[in-house]
C-alpha cells in the first residue's frame, strides 16, 4: 500500500514539473493558504516603472496576492520580530513572482518590517479562527482621532503576546545579521519519493545542488540553499517557480 502511495505522490509532483505552462487554480486550492517569503513594499516608483501594474494607497491595509480571492481576510506576520496584523486581499495585480505579496508602507511601518529583509508570513483566516474578523476593531475605531483619514481594511493594533514571543524575538535579534534562507520546493512523506523528485529535478530540469533533509518522522524536505543574499535567492527562485509546484516557500534558517 505504501509503495502505491509513493508512486501516486511522485506522479503528481513530477507531472507538475513536466508541464510548466500549466496554470494551477490556486484560488480554489488555497482556502487554508499559508506562505512564508519576501514581500514587496509598494512605492509609487514601482508603478511608474511598471514593476507593479496597480496602485496601492500608502495608508491602505489591503495587500496584493496572486493566489487569493479579493476580500480574503489574512494575517500578516513579520517573521523577524513576530509582530502581526489583520488585512484583506485587494484587487488582482501583476508584480514580480519572486514576492509572495505586495504590501503598503503603512503595513510595513506598523509591523516594523526591515526593507532589506522584508520576510513575512501570509495566512488566511476562517470564521472559526481565534482572530474572528467580527470581533476585530477597525483601524478607524482605533485611531480615527489621530489619523482622521479613511483606511480600507482591518487591523488589530497589537494582539501579540509579548511574553510568549520574547524567546522568539531574542532569537531573531541574535540572527539579525545572519541572512540565510533556503527555497523549500516540497515536503514529502517518504524518503524514496524525495529521492525520486530530486533526481528528476537534476536530470530533467538541470536544477543542481538539490538537498533532502528529514524534518520529522514522516517528512522529508526537498530544498535548495542556503542563500546569503536576496539576489542569489531571486536567481534560483525564478527557475524553480516555473515548475509549478503548489506552494514554494522561502524559509529562514
Grid cell at residue 232: 542569489
Look at domain 26-174 and name its CATH class.
mainly beta
Which neighbouring-strand residues pair with 252?
A: 181
Question: Which residue, among 42, 126, 119, 127, has the nearest Cα to 84 in the 3D structure?
Answer: 119
Per-position pLDDT tens, the chain of length 253: 444 444 444 444 555 454 443 444 444 445 688 999 999 999 999 999 999 999 999 999 999 999 999 999 999 999 999 999 999 999 889 999 999 999 999 999 999 999 999 999 999 987 555 444 444 444 444 434 334 444 444 444 444 444 434 444 444 444 455 889 999 999 999 999 999 999 999 999 999 999 999 999 899 999 999 999 888 999 899 889 888 887 899 999 9
42, three cell numbers:
509598494
Sheet with 210-216, edge to edge strand ranges: 210-216, 219-227, 181-188, 249-252
pTM of the model as a whole: 0.73
Handedness of CA 114, 115, 120, 126 (dihedral sign): positive
The DSSP result for 41-110, as a single string, is E--HHHHHTTSSSS---TT--EEB-SSS-TT-EEEEEETTT--EEEEEE-S-----TTSSEEE-HHHHHH
- Distance from C-alpha of 211 to C-alpha of 225, rounded to nearest angstrom: 8
Please give the pLDDT value at position 161. Answer: 42
What is the pLDDT at residue 91?
A: 81
Options 3.30.70.1070, 3.30.70.270, 3.40.50.10470, 3.40.47.10; which CATH number does 179-252 get?
3.30.70.1070
pLDDT of residue 198: 95
- 13, three cell numbers: 509532483
Which pLDDT value is given to residue 239?
87
Rounded distance, CA 106 to CA 55, Å? 14
Q: Are 240 and 207 in contact (CB under 8 A)?
A: yes
Fold: same for 26-174 and 179-252 = no
Scanning the structure block, which residue is given the C-alpha cell 488582482? Answer: 92
Q: Which residues pair with 76 in a beta bridge?
A: 85, 122
Could you state, in order of their start, the residue ranges of all structural domains in the chain?
26-174, 179-252
Phi, psi of 196 (to 5 degrees): -60, -45
The cell for 14 is 513530477
Rounded to 5°, the CA angle 31-93-222 comes to 55
The answer to whether the peptide bond before residue 96 is cis (omega within 30 degrees of 0) is no
> Dihedral of CA 24/31/65/81: which sign?
negative
Amino acid at each position: 500500500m505504501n509503495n502505491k502511495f509513493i508512486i501516486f505522490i511522485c506522479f503528481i509532483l513530477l507531472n507538475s514539473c513536466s508541464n510548466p505552462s500549466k496554470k494551477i487554480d490556486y484560488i480554489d486550492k488555497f482556502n487554508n493558504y499559508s506562505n512564508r517569503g519576501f514581500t514587496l513594499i509598494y512605492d509609487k516608483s514601482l508603478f511608474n516603472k511598471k514593476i507593479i501594474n496597480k496602485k496601492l494607497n500608502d495608508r491602505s491595509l489591503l495587500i496584493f496576492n496572486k493566489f487569493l480571492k479579493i476580500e480574503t481576510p489574512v494575517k500578516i506576520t513579520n517573521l523577524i520580530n513576530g509582530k502581526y496584523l489583520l488585512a484583506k486581499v485587494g484587487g488582482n495585480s501583476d508584480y514580480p513572482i519572486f514576492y509572495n505579496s505586495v504590501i503598503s508602507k503603512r503595513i510595513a511601518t506598523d509591523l516594523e518590517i526591515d526593507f532589506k529583509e522584508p520576510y513575512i508570513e501570509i495566512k488566511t483566516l476562517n470564521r472559526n479562527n481565534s482572530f474572528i474578523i467580527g470581533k476585530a476593531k477597525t483601524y478607524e475605531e482605533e485611531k480615527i482621532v489621530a489619523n482622521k483619514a479613511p483606511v480600507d481594511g482591518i487591523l488589530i493594533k497589537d494582539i501579540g503576546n509579548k511574553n510568549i514571543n520574547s524567546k522568539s524575538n531574542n532569537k531573531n535579534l541574535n540572527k539579525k545579521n545572519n541572512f540565510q534562507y533556503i527555497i523549500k520546493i516540497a515536503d514529502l512523506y517518504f524518503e524514496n519519493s524525495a529521492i525520486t523528485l530530486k533526481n528528476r529535478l537534476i536530470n530533467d530540469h538541470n536544477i543542481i545542488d538539490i538537498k533532502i533533509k528529514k524534518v520529522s518522522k514522516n517528512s522529508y524536505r526537498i530544498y535548495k540553499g542556503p542563500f546569503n543574499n536576496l539576489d542569489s535567492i531571486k536567481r534560483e527562485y525564478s527557475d524553480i517557480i516555473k515548475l509549478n509546484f503548489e506552494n514554494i516557500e522561502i524559509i529562514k534558517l
